[in-house]
Amino acid sequence: MGYALLSPPLAFAILFLAVLGLFHLSGRLSSPGEDAPGKRLSYLCGEETELFDTPSSGGKLRPDYRRFFGAAFFFTVIEVGVLLLATIPSGLAALPGLVLLLLGAASVFGLIMEVL
């Protein structure tokens, strides 16, 4: 019975109820806000835009995720390589991890060449 509180569903339920109680308590303690124009509008980095009212090419905000994709790809390749190397025994079994790290180095080189 001592370990019953450590079961994940019961621990989740207890924490969920605790957070829900704190949410309602903080809602009662906070002061009511005044209704202002634009209070319920979405915030787009402080930039005034009609992004949702115009076609997709007509808005002012045009995020570009190409650089983020490169960094995310690099992180994923290196992370998988390090995890693979950390969990395999030494010897020839480390060869796939080393190959993956070499592929990661090649992807970093490719990203550097793309930026330059």
The DSSP 8-state label assigned to residue 4 in this structure reads: G
Report how far residue 56's alpha carbon sits from residue 62's, in angstroms, rounded to the nearest whole number.
9
Q: What is the pTM of this model?
A: 0.35
The per-residue pLDDT for 14 is 92
Q: Judge whether 81 and 104 are in contact, CB under 8 Å.
A: yes
Listed as ranges, residues in the chain with pLDDT below 70 are 1-2, 42-64, 67, 115-116
The per-residue pLDDT for 63 is 61
The per-residue pLDDT for 101 is 77
Report how far residue 96's alpha carbon sits from residue 82's, in angstroms, rounded to the nearest whole number.
11
Q: 42: which residues sit within 8 A by CB, 6+ positions away? A: 52
